[in-house]
A = this chain, B = another copy of it.
């Protein structure tokens, strides 16, 4: 059968989640009840975690998440995890779908940051992990922009007209706005040589457990290798990978009933 769960660990995290949710002032009996545990069990679990620094019992009736958790969290960042989680998918994509694959996020300045990249040797591309790029001119950027809340998007569009990188770059705010609506509706973006001449790219969103777009995944190829009729299949494949990445990062949350 599937790997059996360790009950105590489930319960421990249930307690942590419960404490985190309540911001830190619930009594042990209350917490125990919320997690469906006996007071004795909850107490043992909390005492164990307290000695590990994961929880602290500040005063009667008050439990809080401890510095230990903060310390552990210091080693994780959304960007780093996205990159790490996406890496295997990117590799597979380059082997089966398009010769190049990218993962990117949008920063607060509306710039796309490349977090991960994979390419087959024969098709180098001048993109670099960690570098930033304007959003309006790439598949990744269009997917990420399309997911922005109305107000932010308007602010971005107001920055236009934009600079043309190729003859096909969308530079007019109105045209970009229309394009983004289309992207949002169809669930993917198609970059038809808008960033580099002769390079096409398909991009799809990566979503968290709530469906919010947190990043985008793209596959790029020379235009001849990426004809229009191949797009639907590529989108499907990319979506499969995007779903996998999303699920890796955001599993069923630890609930506390």
Contacts and interface: CB of A to CB of B under 8 A. Distances in A.
A166 B124 CA distance: 70
Contact of A76 (B4, B62, B67, B248): B67
Closest 6 CB pairs of A and B: A73-B73, A8-B8, A65-B76, A58-B84, A20-B75, A59-B88
Contact of A4 (B13, B44, B66, B75): B44
5 contacts: A53-B249, A56-B81, A66-B76, A66-B81, A68-B253
Contact of A48 (B10, B62, B67, B252): B10
A251 B57 CA distance: 12
A43 interface: yes
A53 B43 CA distance: 24
B75 A73 contact: no
Contact of A84 (B9, B24, B74): B24
Interface of A: 3-10, 12-13, 16-17, 19-20, 23-24, 43-45, 47-54, 56-59, 62, 64-78, 80-81, 84-85, 87-88, 248-254
Number of copies of this chain in the oligomer? 2
Contacts of A78: 67, 70
A51 to B, nearest CB: 5
Contacts of A71: 20
A50 to B, nearest CB: 7
A13 to B, nearest CB: 5
Nearest to A89: B59
Contacts of A87: 58-59
A248 B59 CA distance: 11
A75 B72 CA distance: 13
